[in-house]
Amino acid sequence: MMKNTLLKGIMLLTFVMFSLSSNAQLFAGIEIGSKGIKMSVLDVDNIKKGSYVIKGFWTENIGIAKGIAIDGNLAKEDIDNAAAVVLSNYMKIKKEFNVLDENIFIVGSSGVAMAKNTNELIDKIKTSTNKDLDFIDAQTEAKMLLKGCVPPVDYINSMVLDIGGGNTKGGYVDVRNGNVFVFFPVSLNYGTVTLTETVLKKTKDLTLGEYNEKSFGFLPVLRKQIDLMYATSPLVLEKEKVFMSGGAVWAFYTLVNGAAKKNFNEFKLENVIYYDALLKNNFKIFEEMAKTDTEVEAVLKTYSQKHLISGSNILQACLEALPNINDKKLYFAREGKVAWLVSYITDKSKRVKQVY
């Protein structure tokens, strides 16, 4: 009897110790973006070596940034909806994945941070979850993207660019004083959602043909803004490798090539031009594909055709503005979606390469 009791005690202690050691490796993030709210759960082995497994990643398409292009504010209804989605997924992460509360981070993207009334969202999240909501500015978000999804060996000869819902941001790393890694940012105040809302601003009920026409007419403005973006850090134009992420790039790569199989998936400008032509002239081909391809279906459930056109316009214009574009290596960074969380975790550990 005593032996059985002792055995049960040992088994229970072993289970508790195993659970604690497992939980200690789990981290989770909730990102409130312009086009949706993304949830990530990572099982981390060695973050300095980029050794982690994505245990869960899912998105809820709650658009929160559409009011920014109209009056500069997040709509109260959108704030309430976002807070409700954050709370339900926060509880899901704790209960279904057993992530420790201190290992759960909640952030707002730089696109959402552009709103004038972000304090209302911060207060709402604090009330519902008792967690702090940190906003990431475009420069920090781009630096986190580089640290989270570009191999350190490629830092010096690479640039990153993320096309989000609210804005586009990126940059590159340079070495100063021999061994100091300094990040130089670039950013554009247009993303998939905000560009669409800008085109629709005066007339909401545009037909697709009318939207295409207005969108085409806006291209000179967009290209000028992109030229100005690159001019703020001109060395970005010389980088040999371009790592891209964000919803617009995910949509492009998935609709043309299917689900990304690798962490870094190469493509060419000609692939983007082909995709852009299909979006504007033969969209039915994607609608037919969605009937049998769940990845294509996910893209079309996330973005309307007008949003996809806006994202494609930004993607193509950003690439065409780079000199010698056909000689560069272009990559869709599949794990860009969790890059900010990887960077958060990295900042909690001793880093091999610190980027300033």
**Does the pLDDT of residue 34 top 90, yes or no?**
no
Q: Based on the domain organization, do 199 and 280 belong to the same domain?
A: yes
In a domain, 239, yes or no: yes
CATH of the domain at 98: 3.30.420.40
* Residue whose C-alpha is closest to residue 166's, from 191, 198, 138, 145: 191
Domain total in the chain: 2
Whether pTM exceeds 0.85: no
Determine the residue type at 45.
D
Q: Based on the domain organization, do 186 and 43 belong to the same domain?
A: no
What is the chain's mean pLDDT, rounded? 85
| Domain finish residue from 86, 102, 136 | 136
**Does the pLDDT of residue 48 top 70, yes or no?**
no
Q: What is the pLDDT of residue 334?
A: 87
Q: Based on the domain organization, do 103 and 151 belong to the same domain?
A: no
Domain that holds residue 93: 24-136
Q: Based on the domain organization, do 191 and 295 belong to the same domain?
A: yes
Q: What is the pLDDT of residue 172?
A: 93
**Does the pLDDT of residue 235 top 90, yes or no?**
yes
User: Range with the lowest mean pLDDT among 16-20, 225-229, 291-295, 350-354?
Assistant: 16-20
